[in-house]
Every structure is written in C-alpha cells, then in structure tokens.
A and B are shown apart, each in its own frame.
Chain A
Amino acid sequence: MIKTNQKFFSSFLAIALLALMPLGLIAQQPRRTNATTTAPAVQTKGASQTEIPAHPRELKFADLSYTPPERDKYRHVLSNGAVAYLVEDHDLPLVNVTTLIRTGRYLEPSSKEGVAALSGGQIRAGGTTSKTAEQFDEAADFLAANISSGIGDTQGNANLNCLSKDIDQGLALYFDMLKNPRFQPDRLALAKSQILQQMERRNDDTTTIESREWNRLMRGTDHFSTKQTTKASIEAVTRDDLVAFHKQYYQPGAFVFAVSGDFNTKEMLAKLETSMRAWEASKATISEVPKPSFAPVAGVYTVHKADVNQGRVIVGHTGTTRDNPDSYALSIMNDILGGGGFTSRLMSRIRSDEGLAYSAGSDYGLGVYYPSDFRASFQSKSATTPQAVGIIMEEIARIRTTKVSDEELTTAKNSAIEIFPRFFATAAQIAGTFAQDEYTRRPVDYWSTYRDRIKSVTAEDVQRVAQKYLQPDKLVILVVGNIDDITKSNPDNAQHSLAKIAGSNQIRRIPLPDPLTMIYPQVP
C-alpha cells in the first residue's frame, strides 16, 4: 500500500505493466561476466548512407559466439568440506555473499509446522549470543550492510551485501548470525503474532486461495509441500525448537557459498576459512526431500468468493522432473503452447484475439526433487471464464494432434539459444547459478550441452512429448471466483459453460477452510 522511499523504483513498481513480467525482470542484474565473448564486428562503412530496409528480416547481423563460463574455474572446496564459488567483479565497491544451507520445510516435525520459517527468520531477527537483537540491527544498519536469512521448502539461505571496505565487519556479523543465533524471545513472540495475523487473512485474496487449493489438488494433504501452519502449530513452536532446528541443520561442512564482487579470491577464501574455524556442529545425516504419493483426481473444482468480478483458473495435471531426457522438448512444446509470452498460442488466442484476459499462459513444471506440475492459467471476468477454459482445452488437443509450424519451432528454439548468455550475465549470477547447481546436484555438463540439446528438438519431438506428457483425461480444472456468476450463462456467448466442460462429472465445490485451524467445513 505504501511507497518506499526509493523514489524511482517506487513509481516503477506502481506502474501498470503491459504483460506478465518475464521472470525476474526487475531482479535480473545484467552486467559484466568473465565469460569469453567475441564482440560483433563494427560495420561502419557507409551505414548511414544505406537504405533502411523495408522489413527487419533484411537486416544482417554479425555472428555472436559465446562460451559459457566454466564451473571449475570458480569452484573451491574448503577445509571443512564446504564448497564455495567465487567470482570477482571490481566495477563497484560491493561484495555479495550467499550461503545455501541444506535444510527446509520438509524437515519440520509434524504438529510444529512453521518451525523452519520461524528458525530462518529468527536467525536474522533474534540477535546473537554476544549481541542483542537491537545491537545487531544497529550494527548492521550503521554499516549499511544488508543481511538476511530464511528457510524455504527445500533450502536455507543467508545473504550479506556490503561495501567492500567493510567486508571484515560485514563477515563478522554475518557468521556470528549463522553460528550463534540468540533467538531472543520477544522477537520470536512478535514474529508469531505477525504470522497469526497474516493467517487470518488466508481466505481474502483469490490468488492465495488458488495456489493453496491447486497444490492440494495436485499433491494431496500429506506431502510436506501442502502442509499448512495452523494457530495451534505456530503456538506450539518454542524457542527450544528453533535452537534444536538450527543446531541440527546449520552444518558448515555442508554449506555452499556464492561470493561475488569486489574482493581478491585468495583473500576471500582465507576469510571464509577463518570465519568457520572451530565451529563445532552436528554431523547428523540430513534426509532426502520426500516425493508425494498422491494421485490427483481429474474434474472441475470450484471455490466461491462473492465480491470479485474475475475468475482465476488453473487447468493442469502432474508434470515431471528436470532429469527427464524429454525435458528439452517439453520446454519447447510448452513455449509454443503457452510459455512463450505474446507469441504463444494461449496468449495469442485468449488475450490478443478475444480480449478475454490480461495474462494467459502455461508452465510445464520440471521438478528438482519430485514431479512438478503442468498448468495453464488465466484470469477473466466471470461471464467469459468458461469460454477461456474452452480455448485452453482446444489448444491442448491441437498441439497433441497437429505438428507445430516451422515458424513456431524456430521462434521457440532461437529464443532459448540466443537468450542463453543471460544465465551468466553478472558475476552474482555466475556464482549463484553454479552454487545452486551444486546444491541440487545438477549434472556438470548441463550448461555446456544445453544449446545443442535445444537445437536437436524437432517438430516430431514436440508432438511426441505433447502426446505423452499432456493428458486431457487427467486434467484438473480449478476455478476460483464468484461461482454463481461464472456458472450463469453468458448472454453474449451462451454456448460456453462450466457444466459443459465438466461433462458427465459433477462440479465439485471446495469450501473455504477455517483459516486458523485449516478445517474445511463439509459441503452439503
């Protein structure tokens, strides 16, 4: 609701953007890399005299050869076993340190849901054994150092960004936080109060409802990824739980570091070693991320929310994992279907042909630890929601039955190949990408073979994977919105209806749960 004081970004964030922001548009940091590039040849000869061609296809472009950075050039193994990726970049007097910690929400004991997120947050917010939370915050703020910590589904993170001249003081604070969190009780009480207040608002926003119910429809209620915190589970978490969680999982020998910016590699390695010296830590084995055992049930599901005028819809089913050899063809297939922005079929038909939605698209999830899901989604006014669902069904059928055009295939493949250098656009991205690969154990040849694998995808491959991995009989359709209005027939377009889409199956209604207990009332 309120604007930040960073003037330009405040107005920038407030602007109404034209389309779905491509991932990380604002966050991306395109800048120098240490990768080898060959700059395009400068063609100055009479360029301003030459005619402007009638169409850009007549423009000639110099070749651009690009070799991705080599992982091993930046990889270092520390004496305690931790792995660090260090990428120097001296353009600005800043240093960025990220630590990946092998932990996650998946390790929470049952009935203590929330302990992972609370631990992650309180490591930063709750002070250290030698500094109260107030003293720690003042020290970090006076240094103008940004220090953060958090624990997500399958990973813990901690970050330091400070001026390079302050790196020693910055690292001292940062490692003090990682190693000796104080977990100050008043800060924990405050965090719990904030979480409980947010919890009450669980049924307010259709976006929140949509993603929660979708995850439940895909992976049931037993998988860690769909477990919900409740008032009882948050209240059950004690300071001792946080101490235990930290002790068990913050094992420096299992850390993966990504360090980039204005430093000397040799010196930085020594600083990391010193920072972790004499850190007695647990060596307990950390279990693997569990896979869901739930089979989604196809059909139409609705959640009623009275005072919104748009239906939010996801259509989809279980997807696959990223180590699937078909993943490259799947990415191209999805790009053509709905992943490729304006040029994709769903965007073109739902948005630009019919004006039914501001954004429409699809994503073929390639999970790291377990199959993610395929989902096509949009938001449209109540009256036209069923019509747009119909278009998604048609397009899923079409990409299975008909080969994609050469033009579509070329667009999708070229884009994937040409955009490739952007993965390593900055020193922070190089270090971050390799650290993430290390953490998730991605095959080392992934980046060096990526473009060739994309190049080899054919129209036949696209159709084959569409037939194999898009399953019309397994589609789950979730509609969140004013269901009374959405099920009313559209006076301007009566042939579309939810009932028709459901066919002989009944439309199942999902009630809104009690936000504090997550108990769902019975549907009459």
Chain B
Amino acid sequence: MNRTWIIVGATSSMARAFARKVAEDGCHVLLAGRDLADMKRTKKDCELRGAPSAYAVMFDARKPGTFDEICVKAAVQDGEINVAVFVGSMPEQSAIDTDPTLIDGTIQDSFTGPAQLLHRLAPLMEERGCGTVIGVGSVAGDRGRLSNYVYGSAKAGFHTYLAGLRNRLGRSGVHVVTVKPGFVDTAMTWGIEGMFLVAAPESVADDLLKAVKKKRNTIYTPWFWRYIMLIICHVPEFIFKKLKI
C-alpha cells in the first residue's frame, strides 16, 4: 500500500533524520516547515534516497492559513497517511521574563499550532482507517521547572492533547505515539551549557520508527529518560520548589 509521511517542522535535524529513514523505506514524503529553500534540498535528498515522491510546503504554526495546502496535498495522496510533528520553540526563559508576550508564540509553535493542524487532518485519517501520528513533546513537559516552564507547559498541553487524540483515533485504527525526547544533539541544544547524555538525531529517528512499529503509546528517547523523569516527577513539591534544575 502507498504510505505517506507528513513531516511537520521539517527543517529540524530530528525531522530530517526521520524523513531520510522513511524515504529509504519507500514512503512518500510531504515536508512542511518555514524555510522553503532548505526544505527543497531535503525534498531532493528524500527523492534520491528512495521516496517515490516528495513535496515541500510552507507551514507556520502561527499562521493557520498555511495549514490548508498541507490538508489539500494529504487528501490527494492514496493509501495510508501518517503525520510526524516536530515543531516547537524554546526562547530563553530570561527573554520571556523580560517580554511576557513571547509566551503566546511559544504556545502556538509548541502546542496550539500543531494541535490545530492535527485536528484538521484527523477526519482524513479516520476515513482511511490506518496510519500513525507521532507527536514530539519533551521531557520538559513532565514537570514545570525554573529554567523552561513556559516551553514545558506548552509541551505538557501538547502531551494531553495527544493522549486525547489517541483516545479518539484509536477507535478507527489510527495510532498516536507521544514522544518525549531528552537532550538531543540539535541546533536547539548546540552550545547550551549543562547538556549531558546527548542523543544523535539518527538514533531518535530509529526510536520513533520502532515505536510506530510496536504501536507504543508514549516513549522516552533515549529510553533512560523515563527513569530520570520518574525520579524528577516523584520529588515532593516542597523540596522541588527549592531546587534549581
């Protein structure tokens, strides 16, 4: 059967690594993101790696008008439609403290924008009765903390949305995977102090494909973050509120 992956936030290195793997696996690829020139290169890369077709379309989480083209392109693809959402933005918490209006954009990029797009694609996927949604959240969404709680709360909202979407789409044979990456070696983390056990985007992409195959609901990547977050989430609030992590 024809398989298509819609990859949202396609200029990130995690998305690029994922796009390559599904392309080599023979899937059609629809790349959506803001830097069209960059995505055109990735589109060609996907075609040359084995994607029977690849497209690059504009997507801006803050401009719902840009979602139309993705929905139109998705509807004309035969067979199984899959979506992987890699978008999100993480301004420095100090920048947000100076300018609280940045909160809106962070939430649009990391939560409401992708949620709206998924909501518009959901009926099509239900109709096809197959396929997978991968939503990339973050371990930052598991507990609010000093250094990035605006980004964290946006991702927490996205996690809850994905759980609900899983509940809905599961009834028609569509699976939803929630992904919580720890530190991944991307442009977002390059040069930030305090990074440890950083995972390569390629190994994250492998984890995603494994989770799709095994129909996992929520995965941490790399896997040990499940245990790190288990500990962090179990620190009593009266202690946690005094910590600086």
Is A bound to B? no
Give A contacts to B, CB under 8 Å: none
